[in-house]
Each structure stands twice: as structure tokens, then as C-alpha cells.
Amino acid sequence: MRYARLNAEMELRAIEKRLVEIIVNLGYLKGRSRRTSKILAYLVIHNKVTQKMLREAAGYSLGTVSTTLKELRQLGLIRESLDPEGRERLYELVVPLSQQLAYYSVAMNRYFHEWKEFLEQLESELRKNHVAKKKGAEEIRHFINKMRVVISITTDAMGRLQFTKPEIQREVADK
Amino acid sequence: MIAKIARDNLKGFDREIREIEKEIVTFFKEKGAEFGGKDPIFMTILAYFYVRERLTQQDLQDLSGFSAGTVSKVLRQLVGINVITKGIIPGTHKHLYTMDQPSVVFSQFFLPAGKILSKYEDELRQTKAHLIAHASEMRRIKGFSGMLVAVTLLQRSVHLASTLIAEMKEEAKKQVKK
């Protein structure tokens, strides 16, 4: 019985290790370092963690863990609180995994809106007489047009998938 | 002196346009962090590719002010995830990096690339099935439920992300035909 439990525990740890590896690889696609993604992976899996837990699980020094947590806080991805039962600090994702899809769907709309405004602002800067014919202006115009096409492609694809409706409801309901 | 001239005339952009380009880079960097938790150095290099499309490592060092090591690391990363391609400038030994598909790349502000995702989707599905099959032995072990929730949600997100990217690719093809 005890042996079976030990086996199951070892297997679960192996699965955890592989899951961390997948999250690290997905983080790489977002331009995150291995160290940052690994710490994030443990936050995704364990919800709330202490620096000590992260040191043991990820195998980094306390200094590295502390620096990485600081960077993640600066990026707005995690928050810190004080453990009410102890004196240690707890770290958790600002947007839990269960809400990330819903969060990003809403954020994407805001993001595209800000892009559209920004492109308009760039266009008006380019229209100014002393800038319009400067070297590089053509490249910036090309960039503006390209981004407009890209935004239109993305919003159309999202609309067709109804990305912002049933999936969000399902995610929120599941939570 | 030569270095100064080179910096003042970075790939032929006048000072006023360089200022606009810096605004674009800042926007990429800030919004990438705000909406997607993206690394600012990564976003800076990505922004220059959006504007200039073809760049050498030296161009990027001059434009961004980052060290050769930093630029080289990000370039390897961007090539590795198929955001840019690496070629040779004819008649030289210099590498030229090119961004070909801005629409597909753009989706990566939020979501990573399709083919890589489907590989993980399969693995996550199998992992979830394994956890469920062994739930009776593993249920009482610390971390089991958290892992099951994480696998389920990751699998769903990855599935949606790859579907969205496939849709975007279709949409991009239509736009090219137009």
C-alpha cells in the first residue's frame, strides 16, 4: 500500500515536471526567459506559493527566486500578500489560469482599440509638412497600413470564432 | 566619427522619423507588457522588425542600444519560434533576418504559434487522461487537484489559441487574394 502511494507520488512529480516544461516552452514563445517561465509554471500549478516552496520546486537559489518574483510583479503578472497563518509572503497570479481566457478576450478588444488610436496618431504626425517627406516616412506609412490589415485580420478571426462569447461564459462558469 | 554618422543615419531614417519609430517601439514594449506580460527586450526587437522588416544583428544593436549578446539571444528566440527567418546577404558572410508574415506574428502578442501548440495540445490531452485514469491512487497526494485543473485549463487555452491562429492564417490568405 505504502509502496503504491510512493509510486503514485513519484509519477505525479514526473507529470508536474513535464507540465512545468510545457509551460516553460509556451512562455518561450512569448519571449520569456526559462527562469521566469519556470517560476510562473509553479504559480500556475500550485496557485499560491512562498519563496521557499519555489526554491525547492524550481531548484533556484533564494536570490534568483526573489529577483524573478520582483520582475514578474513589475510586469503585473503576479501579486504578493502576507500569509495570515505564518510570516511568509505568498505569491499568486494576478489573473488566475481559470480566468485568463476571459481576461485576455476582454483585454484584446481594449488592446486593438488602443492600437487603432495609436495608428491614427502616427498618421497625423506623418501628415505634418516638415515630416511628410523625410527619409523613412514611407516605411512608417507602410507599417501603419500593415498593422491595420493585421488588426482587421485578427478581429475578423476572433469574431468568427466568437472568441469573446461562449468560451468566456464557459470559463467563468467552470471556475 | 564614422560610428556617429552611422548612428545618425540608421538605415536612412531622418531624425524626425527616428523619433516616430521610437514611439512605435515604446508602444510595442509597453502594451506588450501590459496586455501580454511580454519581455520588454523581446518586444523592442520585434517592433524594429515590424517597422524595418529586414535587419542584421548589427542594425539591431545600433537601433536598440542592446549588446551583441542580448540581440543574438532574442534573434535565436525569434528564429526558433518562426517569427523571422535567417538568410545571408549575397556576397557577404553577414546574416540578414526577415519578418515575412506580420499577421501570423501579431497573433503571438497573445497566443503562440499553431504547429507548436498542437503538439502541446496532444500532450496535455494525454496527461489529463492519465491523471483521470490514476485518480484513485493520486487523489490524496498534495498537488493532484491543482495539476488536474491546470492541465484542463491549459489544454483548453491551447486548443482555442491554435484554432484562432488557424482562422487568422485563413483570413490572411483571403486578404492577400483581395
- Chain B residues in contact with A171 by the CB 8 A cut-off are 153, 156
- Chain A residues in contact with B35 by the CB 8 A cut-off are 104, 107-108, 110-111
pLDDT value, residue B144: 87
Question: Are A13 and A21 contacting, i.e. CB atoms less than 8 angstroms apart?
Answer: no
If you average pLDDT over residues A54-65, what whole number do you get?
94
- pLDDT at B153 > cutoff 60: yes
Residue of chain A nearest B33, judged by CA positions: A75
Q: How far is B101 from chain A (nearest CA, A)?
A: 10
Q: Which long-range contacts (CB under 8 A, 24 or more apart) does B2-11 make?
A: B6/B62, B7/B62, B10/B59, B10/B62, B10/B63, B11/A136, B11/B52, B11/B59, B11/B63
Q: How far is B150 from chain A (nearest CA, A)?
A: 6
Instruction: Out of A22, A137, A161, name the one closest to residue B17 (CB).
Output: A137
Q: Measuring CA to CA, which residue among B22, B20, B46 is closest to residue B33?
A: B46
Q: Is the ipTM beyond the 0.90 threshold?
A: no
pLDDT tens-digit series, residues A14-45: 899 999 998 888 887 777 888 999 999 999 88
* pTM for this prediction: 0.71
Question: Domain A2-93 belongs to what topology?
Answer: Arc Repressor Mutant, subunit A (1.10.10)
- Chain A residues in contact with B120 by the CB 8 A cut-off are 22, 25-26
Instruction: Out of B11, B81, B143, name the one closest to residue A45 (CB).
Output: B143
Instruction: Out of B113, B160, B167, name the one closest to residue A29 (CB).
Output: B113
What does the block give as the cell for A97? 489560469
- pLDDT at A95 > cutoff 50: yes
- pLDDT at B43 > cutoff 80: yes
**Which helix (H) or strand (E) is B98 found in, with range?**
strand B95-98
Q: How far is B92 from chain A (nearest CA, A)?
A: 25
- Chain A residues in contact with B109 by the CB 8 A cut-off are 111
